[in-house]
Structure 1
């Protein structure tokens, strides 16, 4: 029975995953004890408080001792309930009703109160730690003797009627692919605005490269590594169709050996190739979809022995496991649970990280301290999750009620001194990437900057990020002309402004501004409950971040601003500063020329938005070891400060690094050729190297189709696996040092015969009999004369509006299991007003939608394929023999210059 009944206006929160009991160190990830709490934000009667406990690694019958408390404004307990529940097959639930009264039977006054859940699982290891297995005493003993084993979750709820806060005028930021007129601010907008566009992403998910990609109809937990049905390309397509702008597939680094433990027979080459294929899948998807960012990276670590973190941009597989031949099953050795060394490695390579579902204790330990601060860690760890939806949700309607809060751990990280922005992801293990709930991570990228991995990383390094449970909302904290994520000096008053907008008409019910001191290891306080707050901070370092609760209970978190408060006088003139750099290897010299009307107190040097050095006296210079930077292009910015805290920032200076590795750095040279247009096609390459070529890979339309390790470098390909029309061949040659040479693209054509006899599966294939049995967006099937049909009067006309628009037309068919071949054939006319000869602005994809809901893109055309008349296209459907599928034509048009995709005479012939 599905017990997860949705409660209107409520929130189901899962406790952050803490260190598992002592015996559970060998448990696979996600088999630790977890607890969730669901409470309606608003209620006019009895308010149900629902708890769910999950512990897949425990024996059935294991007791869970729990306590629910309602806390008042001062933190005192107004009402408590205690109880215990026995786990069934890994889970159980409990519920208590709260009637709005305190323990004396008095009505709790109107305002905000906190519902707190504490729970502990009484497995053998826990009982051994606390010395008693009686549920009635377990929580008290666990808090005294093993507090790290107690799960705690808090959620604020509204009692009675409380006036909503006044919100400032705010011109909503542009939403990627959405016009700003769709955004409704809290009050009338003003002219001007911040020069950023919001991109919404899900930065935490898995595919079948590790323990994700599970079929929705049967997915209830983590998949066995590499056993899931769907891989990275499937995930990117699904997320894009779901409306996301960014998806990161973050694969568990220790599962590339095909196991949750250690596979002693694993091949390092197989593991390496799997990781590289994921990077290639992301690269190929980005090349074909300019308005979407696919990211492939690692989720490093294990929950029960340190914690998970994402590395967003590593080109290498980091590992700690060895096979029976003492070979590392990866590219780079990293010691398990050694977070300090990992941070240092990340800094040296320019990698960026995110703390995943951080717990308040038992995780990210360095030198005996949990969530420990290190200077290297502070530079590389830019994000920390404050909330996730359930990792094992199979929900596809964005209504998942199981959501996990990590705000307490996030606050600890800030107090430790970490400069982390909040994120909110879904940790999808089932094939519903981004679809389980409306939570997103919002990333602010400057207007006019194309979406790319580098632009995304720049925004994350700048901490220009917010977390939201509502994809229609946005929150932006500003302070004295600075935006959330900024670090700056200040003197005198500081005005904090919490800006909010919603495209769905929601309103801010509550505003909270939190303040803390980085490095103090203290506590964070609520410094304001208004959207505009002017204060004069005490001298020293501070951080401030904002949280909004909407009227429906959904929450949004801004990134902090980090402020160094000084005693400056009336000086408001910032210094002027310029930067320069010399050297490309060895010792690199950074220089700045800075002047001020009063005096410059210091100059900071930033490389790629990371502070690398400070100088307090002229000439302002610093040196950097080039080996701490990756080879390639970098940016230098200098910031000059005066005694009043005014800051001047130089223009960015681009420079290159070229470190000698002491080994072979010369890539092979390679050229490619192709022969044949139907039947058997031959792909060939001519490759040479200064040492030796180890292999050649052949890519057709950015997809790897084969590899050859010996001359002559050749392979054959069945032409029916490609659609009729033009294709591109690229060859890549590798040497033993893993240098890569890439050939120029070679264009070739495929012309498969579509003749012969067979059975037609498509009904109403010329659209002459109306819309049945086709499913379409409004008006696609029509007989307008401006775009005539190929035959008859009717056709399917997708897009052609000259504005942002999406159309589809689809039909379900069943391909008999007895068929030996199945071919989709159709005629399409592409007509466009675009003038470019190089950029695909508007696209149409021929897709298959499987019975499991998976979208598979077979081929894509764009405005670049415009031509007079209809062109025939054929696509092989033989992989779907014996399946019921939908043939889907999916057209996407951007905001200007129409492109029409006109389709007629569609057939699926089987033989």
Structure 2
């Protein structure tokens, strides 16, 4: 919980409220201990499901701190069609939650195909007196309201069903920097390429503009990197970061942005700090960057500072500092730096930056509470508008330890970027990694792309000139390019226009990716309003803007779900267009006959549709201002029987078009009050036992819970309702099983108690939990999508299995479970069933491999038990077995690592994993 909470509540009142639960040490937190949450959801359904993962990172968490979360799925019209809530336990400041959306709406109703938004809101919380009487939903809603300034909101768009792809012809890729060209197979700058649009005279350089080393709280080796790292205690410095970004991550540039207040070796202020020591460390960073540039002219090494603290204002990067800006003073009243700035005074900082010629980037900006001036968050400042040139729209997880560019935890800040643009800032988007661990550029494939005039050397001066021109784009795919043009002007430009304006999205991929979605957005600088979608579906859009100032940018979503954002163009539209007297044309349709129904319309106009109204039986029930025009409506507000829908479309000139009337019927049934019926059974008396249930309901069963001796052991959401349980977690003797079944209306049915007996005294003991994966990812740690019930390949038993690789492109998947092998056993045997399916035709070369390993709890390889490959392909499962007695008395990871090359898919299918000891 941040100190800002207790400022609002009053510290005395907060302590009185929490004294029975939380110690004072859990309340007072220093700067840099902020709460964060990331959301991971696949763009397209996997086996009919959208698996959802939420990761929480809260270095300031006390022993009683939890993370409350709410996930909502929003329809294209903005209505909530699915909701899930929960409270996650945090251990050492970290935690996670998982769920899945089955693509259906409330009550199991089928939803129309389209783009839906998964919205996460998460907040830190503690158990308050009286909360025991509240439901989980009530507790989470209470925390979201009470601690609104700490709420983290994340949004991801997903595609439900088959949606037509956007009409876009990729351009020929522009040349890229020599380092990234070698890494991603792009055209290096020395080649001359002409884009399909007639040629753009630019070379693209890819890199990241946000990272830390041991000059502040970064540079910790991946194996030991955890969360909030100790300032200046890391192993690696700026030169190490530059080398890794260039040689391993294949980037053209890297900015190490050290926290300005940590040059004294603390997260606050070290009153015994030596200013000369702090300033010498800062100067050594500038020297390290210059030396690396001199030795590696194809790579741009940059050294900057990350100014501010999130919990007391917000972080921003100073990209080109020539002195250390700080607010801290030692006990002799000496500034620990060279440039005095006041903590959290952003207007003052902007003035200093302008006077010194410094450029800035807003780092992971929150939609509220940060970068305040006179109490206004994300406030406009004239000096700030001159010096701030970038805003992050996406970061991969700052404390990721991933080194294969497959990190699933990523945070989006597009909403805050839009707010800053509407306030009047001219900001290009950036996509960075914020690396604190020693994996610079390696956690994911996201990059910031910067356009330099072709033939210009990659120097700090040329690079910062490109940023001043806002010629940059943000991408999650380092092999993709996106440039926006408008009547021949390139993104970043400010220009005047009269008459029609054509926006053109120029997209290219060097890895063969295709585009699913293209969205153009529009806003007004200084309006402090809302950025809205202007058009969708095509790479080009022509229209005549209304007179006045506007900005426009384009967002592209690839078929693999990875996104790109262009820098905006800023347009001052003048001239009066001819009077519009042509009304829009519009047709209406309705889907559904009960519960939530969907009202839809298609509308077009010679200039543009401004809004569509929906009327049922002549009464206005809703309005939509963006295509596709649709809204959801609760049909229980209507009587059962026949009704009439009419849509009215308006254009900016006030012309109105009315659709023909559409007749539809409503038939709603009474509320469901019937609980499910459920019976329970148990199989086995030692090792892994199976808890089973049969459940039925008049509408549908939503989940089944299994309780042993009154303690919840697991939940299953889909039939067959079975749960594997390690019987060694129970004492030998008699136990009782009860199953509880729920339906969507909240009705609960409880089974009769079933008695069963456990006897593990002389039997072999199963150490693997959920070895058949029938409980999904429970007890396993796996790459996204590995544990699945996809029916493409059958499981060895049951419905679930682990499926590694099978993409037909360069890909790495991993799967492991951590367990302890007791020291007193006489034998330990690891076994599993493996099927290898491959499109490779070779009989001699192992292109794609699966390694079976034992690793220690830090991830270090103890032994590789076997390596399988495409040469082991077959049409059936084969059991593999290994004696692992030699590792008794150790805590190990049973680890499967699948690595696939760039062509011809190989799938490694694993089921019924077991490690038994005797």
Settle same-fold status: TM greater than 0.5. Answer: yes
d(CA) in 2 for partners of 1:28, 1:292: 37
Counterpart secondary structure, 1:104: helix
Give the deviation of 1:146 after TM superposition.
4.5
d(CA) in 1 for partners of 2:212, 2:374: 31
Question: Residues 509-540 of structure 1, C-alpha deviation per residue, up to 9 Å, x if partnerless?
Answer: 11111111111111111111121000111111
Which of 287, 312, 316 is the aligned partner of 2:319?
312
Alignment of 1:24-423 (within 5 A): 27-43=29-45, 44-123=47-126, 135-142=136-143, 144=145, 146-168=147-169, 170-177=171-178, 178=181, 182=186, 190=196, 192-241=198-247, 242-423=249-430
- The aligned counterpart of 2:630 is none
d(CA) in 2 for partners of 1:376, 1:64: 38
Structure 1 pair 72/535, CA: closer, same or farther in 2 (3 Å)? same
**1:221, 1:392 within 8 Å by CA — same for their partners in 2?**
yes
d(CA) in 2 for partners of 1:444, 1:378: 21
d(CA) in 2 for partners of 1:231, 1:112: 44
Structure 1 pair 169/439, CA: closer, same or farther in 2 (3 Å)? closer
Question: Residues 405-431 of structure 1, C-alpha deviation per residue, up to 9 Å, x if partnerless?
Answer: 111111111111110000011111111
Which shifted more, 85-94 or 249-258?
85-94
The answer to whether structure 1 residue 542 and structure 2 residue 550 are counterparts is yes
Question: Residues 643-665 of structure 1, C-alpha deviation per residue, up to 9 Å, x if partnerless?
Answer: xxxxxxxxxxxxxxxxxxxxxxx
Structure 1 pair 131/356, CA: closer, same or farther in 2 (3 Å)? farther
Give the deviation of 1:569 after TM superposition.
9.0
d(CA) in 2 for partners of 1:25, 1:542: 45
Structure 1 pair 122/852, CA: closer, same or farther in 2 (3 Å)? closer
Question: Residues 398-451 of structure 1, C-alpha deviation per residue, up to 9 Å, x if partnerless?
Answer: 111111111111111111111000001111111111111100000000001100
Give the deviation of 1:85 after TM superposition.
2.6
Give the deviation of 1:61 after TM superposition.
3.6
**1:207, 1:213 within 8 Å by CA — same for their partners in 2?**
yes
Question: What is the TM-score normalised by the length of structure 1?
Answer: 0.58
- The aligned counterpart of 1:500 is 507
d(CA) in 2 for partners of 1:257, 1:565: 51
Give the deviation of 1:288 after TM superposition.
1.1
Give the deviation of 1:122 after TM superposition.
1.4
d(CA) in 1 for partners of 2:275, 2:210: 25
Counterpart secondary structure, 1:205: coil
Question: Residues 17-39 of structure 1, C-alpha deviation per residue, up to 9 Å, x if partnerless?
Answer: 99776579963455322222221
d(CA) in 2 for partners of 1:232, 1:443: 21
RMSD, aligned CA:
2.8
Question: Residues 863-910 of structure 1, C-alpha deviation per residue, up to 9 Å, x if partnerless?
Answer: xxxxxxxxxxxxxxxxxxxxxxxxxxxxxxxxxxxxxxxxxxxxxxxx
Alignment of 1:548-697 (within 5 A): 548-567=556-575
Give the deviation of 1:64 after TM superposition.
2.7
Give the deviation of 1:355 after TM superposition.
0.3
Which of 421, 431, 445 is the aligned partner of 2:438?
431
d(CA) in 2 for partners of 1:183, 1:159: 35
d(CA) in 2 for partners of 1:161, 1:569: 39
Give the deviation of 1:340 after TM superposition.
0.2
Question: What is the TM-score normalised by the length of structure 2?
Answer: 0.58
- The aligned counterpart of 1:744 is none
Counterpart secondary structure, 1:217: helix
Give the deviation of 1:143 after TM superposition.
5.0
d(CA) in 2 for partners of 1:146, 1:537: 41
Give the deviation of 1:137 after TM superposition.
2.3
Which shifted more, 236-245 or 27-36?
27-36
Structure 1 pair 235/78, CA: closer, same or farther in 2 (3 Å)? same
Give the deviation of 1:369 after TM superposition.
0.2
d(CA) in 1 for partners of 2:5, 2:514: 40
**1:112, 1:156 within 8 Å by CA — same for their partners in 2?**
yes
Give the deviation of 1:83 after TM superposition.
2.5
Give the deviation of 1:135 after TM superposition.
4.3
| Long gaps (5+) in structure 1 | 1-16, 571-850, 854-911
Give the deviation of 1:68 after TM superposition.
1.3
Counterpart secondary structure, 1:240: helix
Structure 1 pair 84/191, CA: closer, same or farther in 2 (3 Å)? closer
d(CA) in 2 for partners of 1:353, 1:200: 18
How many residues in Structure 1 have an aligned counterpart in Structure 2?
A: 553
d(CA) in 2 for partners of 1:58, 1:323: 29
Question: Residues 107-161 of structure 1, C-alpha deviation per residue, up to 9 Å, x if partnerless?
Answer: 211111011112222138xx69999987432443455555323222111001111
Alignment of 1:408-487 (within 5 A): 408-487=415-494
d(CA) in 1 for partners of 2:49, 2:36: 26
Counterpart secondary structure, 1:513: strand
Give the deviation of 1:467 after TM superposition.
0.3
Counterpart secondary structure, 1:114: strand
d(CA) in 2 for partners of 1:569, 1:98: 47
d(CA) in 2 for partners of 1:96, 1:501: 35
Structure 1 pair 484/252, CA: closer, same or farther in 2 (3 Å)? same
d(CA) in 2 for partners of 1:498, 1:98: 32
d(CA) in 1 for partners of 2:370, 2:519: 28
d(CA) in 2 for partners of 1:523, 1:493: 23
d(CA) in 2 for partners of 1:349, 1:563: 29
Counterpart secondary structure, 1:444: strand
Give the deviation of 1:287 after TM superposition.
1.1
Give the deviation of 1:501 after TM superposition.
0.4
Structure 1 pair 293/189, CA: closer, same or farther in 2 (3 Å)? closer
d(CA) in 1 for partners of 2:266, 2:438: 20
Question: Residues 690-720 of structure 1, C-alpha deviation per residue, up to 9 Å, x if partnerless?
Answer: xxxxxxxxxxxxxxxxxxxxxxxxxxxxxxx
Counterpart secondary structure, 2:422: helix
**2:38, 2:397 within 8 Å by CA — same for their partners in 1?**
no
- The aligned counterpart of 1:490 is 497
d(CA) in 2 for partners of 1:536, 1:347: 36
**1:19, 1:363 within 8 Å by CA — same for their partners in 2?**
no
d(CA) in 2 for partners of 1:524, 1:212: 36
Give the deviation of 1:236 after TM superposition.
1.1
- The aligned counterpart of 1:628 is none
Alignment of 1:859-878 (within 5 A): none
d(CA) in 2 for partners of 1:472, 1:18: 42
Counterpart secondary structure, 1:463: coil
d(CA) in 2 for partners of 1:150, 1:129: 22
d(CA) in 1 for partners of 2:577, 2:476: 42
Give the deviation of 1:59 after TM superposition.
2.0
**1:25, 1:304 within 8 Å by CA — same for their partners in 2?**
no
Give the deviation of 1:272 after TM superposition.
0.8
d(CA) in 2 for partners of 1:330, 1:189: 48
Structure 1 pair 432/225, CA: closer, same or farther in 2 (3 Å)? same
Give the deviation of 1:219 after TM superposition.
1.1
- The aligned counterpart of 1:832 is none
d(CA) in 2 for partners of 1:392, 1:375: 34
d(CA) in 2 for partners of 1:335, 1:397: 40
Structure 1 pair 459/131, CA: closer, same or farther in 2 (3 Å)? farther
